[in-house]
């Protein structure tokens, strides 16, 4: 029996729901040196800000039993360089639309970055990051207040006709309140979750391991929490959800879809194994056969009854 892995995200059909997450796949062409990245459904490019950012001081990575913490701090070359250099280079190795992940420190910055990236032919969706826990004065500060989340959503929505996905923070009491605010402000879909705020301490130095003090916690250890939030948000709003957080196998992808996700992003697994997404895509039909699934479209939200 043929297994159908196609899904549709905000009107755009994907060959499969597997999407490398922002910050874990660069601008794509780095991984194209290892395998044909056109096997992916799409990918979310490295978070892009208006001006270039060096990011946070080192050390920026710490491990924990269930994954890793990062405090990279949105290091990127800036929107103009992405448009002029990164995307043309990507076009040589990837023929599908990508998610352009954008961030800012004010409504004006979000709007300006969206205006620069949205017209690019490679950009299929704008993924608006209002949830980065590793920068000060922006990022997560917009994603923990429904009014600010709505304001950013509306600002980006006003400058593009392309689908707008808002990336939500798990570092809130009620993620559904933020989701509803974004939906009401014109979001076409929601991505969740971004990383959780965490910390490790060096026992010898008796100081935080990360120079930033805290960082974003990711990896398999956060999967059950991410799954719960995808479940809640998919019931709270009538928008497609891109689920992420600790996904590392084809079975995890199927579980996310059953919880209500339309597509699934894979983050930290790419850093542990650069072939992770390729292997998950290859394993999907096998897992579908094991669980009696003919089409992935048919199981989206299937665990809700």
| pLDDT-based confidence at residue 141 (cuts at 50, 70, 90) | low
Asked whether residue 58 is domain-assigned, the answer is no
Average pLDDT, the chain: 94
pLDDT at 111 over 70: yes
Q: Are 8 and 274 in contact (CB under 8 A)?
A: no
CATH number at residue 161: 3.20.20.70
What pLDDT, on a 0 to 100 scale, did the predictor assign at position 75? 92
Short-list 253, 267, 250, CA closest to 300 = 253
Q: What's the mean pLDDT in 257-268?
A: 98
Asked whether residue 207 is domain-assigned, the answer is no
Q: Are 208 and 214 in contact (CB under 8 A)?
A: yes
The set of catalytic residues is 132
Short-list 181, 179, 198, 206, CA closest to 190 = 179
Q: Which of 39-43, 64-68, 118-122, 130-134 has the lowest mean pLDDT?
A: 130-134
| pLDDT-based confidence at residue 132 (cuts at 50, 70, 90) | low
Asked whether residue 248 is domain-assigned, the answer is yes
Interatomic CA distance for residues 183 and 149, integer angstroms: 10
Short-list 186, 291, 175, 288, CA closest to 234 = 175
Asked whether residue 98 is domain-assigned, the answer is yes
Asked whether residue 1 is domain-assigned, the answer is no
Q: How many CB atoms lie within 10 A of CB 193?
A: 27
Q: What's the mean pLDDT in 20-35?
A: 94
Residues in the chain: 305
Q: What's the mean pLDDT in 114-134?
A: 90
Q: What's the mean pLDDT in 160-186?
A: 97
Q: What's the mean pLDDT in 258-277?
A: 97
Q: How far is the CA of 146 from the CAs of 131, 192, 245, in angstroms?
A: 12, 15, 22
Asked whether residue 152 is domain-assigned, the answer is yes
| pLDDT-based confidence at residue 213 (cuts at 50, 70, 90) | very high
**Number of domains into which the chain is organized:** 1
Asked whether residue 178 is domain-assigned, the answer is yes
Give pTM, 2 decimals: 0.95
Asked whether residue 211 is domain-assigned, the answer is no
pLDDT at 133 over 90: no
pLDDT at 176 over 60: yes
pLDDT at 136 over 80: no
Q: Are 211 and 60 in contact (CB under 8 A)?
A: yes
Q: How many CB atoms lie within 10 A of CB 238?
A: 7
As to burial, measured by CB atoms within 10 angstroms (0-12 exposed, 13-18 middle, 19+ buried), residue 74 is: buried
User: Residue with structure tokens 């650069």?
Assistant: 274
Q: Which domain holds residue 40?
A: 7-53+72-201+216-304
């Amino acid at each position: 029996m043929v297994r159908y892995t196609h899904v549709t995200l905000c009107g755009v059909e994907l060959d499969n729901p597997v999407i490398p997450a922002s910050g874990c796949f660069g601008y794509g062409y780095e991984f194209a040196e290892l395998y044909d990245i056109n096997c992916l459904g799409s990918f979310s490019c490295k978070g892009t800000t208006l001006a270039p950012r060096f990011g946070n001081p080192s050390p920026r990575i710490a491990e924990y039993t269930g994954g890793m913490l990062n405090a990279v701090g949105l290091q990127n070359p800036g929107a103009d360089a992405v448009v002029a250099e990164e995307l043309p280079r990507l076009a040589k190795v990837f023929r599908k639309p990508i998610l352009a992940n954008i961030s800012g420190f004010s409504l004006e910055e979000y709007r300006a970055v969206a205006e620069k990236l949205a017209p690019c032919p490679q950009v299929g969706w704008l993924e608006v990051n209002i949830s980065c826990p590793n920068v000060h004065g922006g990022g997560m500060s917009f994603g923990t207040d429904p009014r600010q989340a709505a304001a950013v959503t509306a600002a980006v929505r006003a400058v593009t006709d392309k689908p707008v996905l808002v990336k939500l923070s798990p570092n809130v009491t009620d993620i559904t309140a933020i989701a509803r605010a974004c939906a009401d402000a014109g979001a076409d879909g929601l991505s969740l979750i971004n990383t959780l705020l965490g910390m490790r301490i060096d026992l010898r130095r008796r100081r935080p391991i990360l120079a930033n003090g805290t960082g974003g916690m990711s990896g398999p250890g956060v999967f059950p929490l991410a799954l719960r939030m995808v479940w809640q948000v998919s019931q709270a709003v009538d928008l497609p959800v891109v689920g992420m957080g600790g996904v590392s196998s084809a079975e995890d992808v199927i579980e996310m879809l059953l919880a209500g996700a339309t597509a699934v992003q894979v983050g930290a697994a790419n850093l542990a194994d650069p072939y992770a997404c390729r292997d998950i895509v290859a394993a999907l039909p096998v897992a579908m056969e094991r669980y009696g699934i003919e089409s992935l479209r048919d199981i989206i939200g299937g665990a809700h009854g």
